[in-house]
Structure 1
């Protein structure tokens, strides 16, 4: 199987490296300077493993049997449009809610596979990724069918020693991870703390619980039925990743755009569509937007903000 990694940043590069080591033909697709450094000097992996790998790269989509999409949520539509001229299936392993819907709008329902992952990676510098945490990859057809392609992808992942699980309800899995992100990501970004501090500081612990409960109620209003309590799951993830800096905190520290729109922002938008209040998610959303804009107001017209 020939697999492209569309959006090969930290996470995509790590998954591509692990697949490459198992003998899979991998192409890393991304942007300079990370991709150009890999092309020139190879991909360095540190942390849980040490390796220097020569993996083919590209700045544009290429023909393959499967594309794993790991771009930031705000780049999903543009990435989908770049892949319109191809026919390969696309597996989303992104953060947030709504990525799969965008992909289906642009590419057609039959090409899109849903998924989530809890593998941890950090880009140290261009061409160098730190493998920070072994996790799980959950994949599934958006309609819940157990198809041959899902089984084949799962087998390829297993041969690469990736922890993979097939879900018959991948929409629930996406919401569950999104609720974890709703609790951990904005609070760590706003407070400037590691994940574990959300358990240690009583006020942050309380807010984390409340924001997850609010998001859970909204998910259930859309017919989502969880296989475990996402609030408890959030606390479990915070414990297991207590020393980690969340991706949103890393983005804020580096002055980059965050994925808040696809996480708490999307929860607020969907709550608004049902006329359900979501004040905690909305407050966290707006605070992170202030951080994104370096303390400046978003604009003189705030009408595009969720809940406005």
Structure 2
């Protein structure tokens, strides 16, 4: 059958789906931005790719109904393109690793790249559902179709964000400031021996300007997450990237109690912000695979 022209009703549906789908990407930019290196270019990339995904999701059903099968084929092409975008983002972040004072680590980069791809599917699915609901309403009256489509799109976005929301360090562990002290040349963070610091000037500066954090898992599963090397690297990176790093970062895992701790010299000293950002560091997929995140076994306080 020959392709048919899109009707004004179809164009209204496509425009509504496009707007809702683009908004879906915009609403998640703040969640992504703290993990990405550039502004405003990174912001623009998010919105443009989200808009493209929304346009494809919005046009898929009208194209199918009007026998424009070439338009529908762009849906499969877009999915492949989003995978390529993930690969490019991963490659870009890996190229930037040598410029970071504290590298992100391969595990964190992999998680960021997958998140970058997944957010585009938010736009595509939100736009698709918006148009689908508008098509299911008989009569095709814009004053009725648009509100129902918008509600369906927003509900889809809410469900997608809820289902895809990952855990953070603050949900599985207690994050608290710790005390820096020295016994001879040995740096201690609370009761954990961390590193031998031979230079007197460095020891004095750590006493005077250093900040330390102790992260204590609440469950056995949480201990397994904190034992993951990529997870510890991500925590150190976020702390150094957000508050700045003058010099020196010491990190140690307490093998007896499953805790991790680190101390560093920040450029901006803000203890409240430091605890908040550590608690908000996402749990990496590579760490989740190695732990039962729903482990009900709560560790006794004396065992923490």
Same fold (TM over 0.5): no
Larger-gyration structure (1/2): 2
- Calculate the TM-score normalised by the size of structure 2: 0.25
Q: Which structure features the higher share of helix residues?
A: 2
Q: Which has the higher contact order (CA 8 A, sep 6+)?
A: 2
